[in-house]
Amino acid sequence: MNTNEHGAQRPERARPTPQSLTGVGLAVLDGAGRVLLGLGHDGRWELPGGKVDAGEDFETAAARELTEETGLTVPVTAVRVLAVVVDGLQGLTRVTAAAVAVGAAGTPRVTEPDKIVRWEWFARGSLPSALFAPSAAVLDCLWSEAAPRGVAGMRRYGVAGDVTEITSL
């Protein structure tokens, strides 16, 4: 515990003011390699995803958000985190896990009509140009050979594979 010279806890350490948002964007691929995107009311397309709850890991958050937003299900063990993307858009540090899962069960449906107009599957070569910036950054992590779609100022940090791969070097 951090205390001052009088033994009292320093107020700035008691409960810090949140300065960042932690989320996950999930690129869901079907058997044909198409990715699922939702059309937002602002005209931009986005991946399923959202905030990571306190104590929740990225994979669990991705699977939960997918079900909440689309009705699709995927086992947590089928979600793979590719990278972590960090940006400071609009004065808030946003940390987004870029995740991918293949073969979700079900048919996508709009479960949050206040956020999404419709869900559609897109082939890799026919992605819409109007993408939500964090979703574009996730797609850049998935298909890095394509021209970057993310926003300038976003930084990407690759996630290490299996720990046994690292320890055997």
| Residue 51 scores a pLDDT above 60 | yes
For residue 134, the model assigns a pLDDT of: 85
**CATH number, domain with residue 134:** 3.90.79.10
Bridge partners (DSSP) of residue 46 are: 38
| Residue 7 lies inside a defined structural domain of this protein | no
pLDDT tens per residue, range 114-167:
999 999 999 998 999 999 988 988 998 888 655 455 556 677 777 755 433 333
For residue 145, the model assigns a pLDDT of: 54
Tell me the mean pLDDT in the region 13-42: 87
| Residue 1 lies inside a defined structural domain of this protein | no
| Residue 6 lies inside a defined structural domain of this protein | no
| Residue 132 lies inside a defined structural domain of this protein | yes
| Residue 37 lies inside a defined structural domain of this protein | yes
The total domain count for the chain is 1
| Residue 4 lies inside a defined structural domain of this protein | no
pLDDT tens per residue, range 57-90:
999 999 999 999 999 999 999 999 999 988 877 7
Tell me the mean pLDDT in the region 105-115: 96
For residue 88, the model assigns a pLDDT of: 79
Report d(CA 69, CA 48) in Å as an integer: 7
| Residue 6 scores a pLDDT above 70 | no
- Domain assignment of residue 81, given as a range: 18-158
Tell me if 97 sits within 8 A of 58, measured CB to CB. yes
Report d(CA 86, CA 122) in Å as an integer: 25
List, in order, residues 6 or more apart from 124 with CB less than 8 Å away: 33, 34, 35, 143, 146
For residue 159, the model assigns a pLDDT of: 74
CA angle, residues 76, 44, 61, in degrees to nearest 5: 15
| Residue 164 lies inside a defined structural domain of this protein | no
| Residue 27 scores a pLDDT above 80 | yes
| Residue 141 lies inside a defined structural domain of this protein | yes
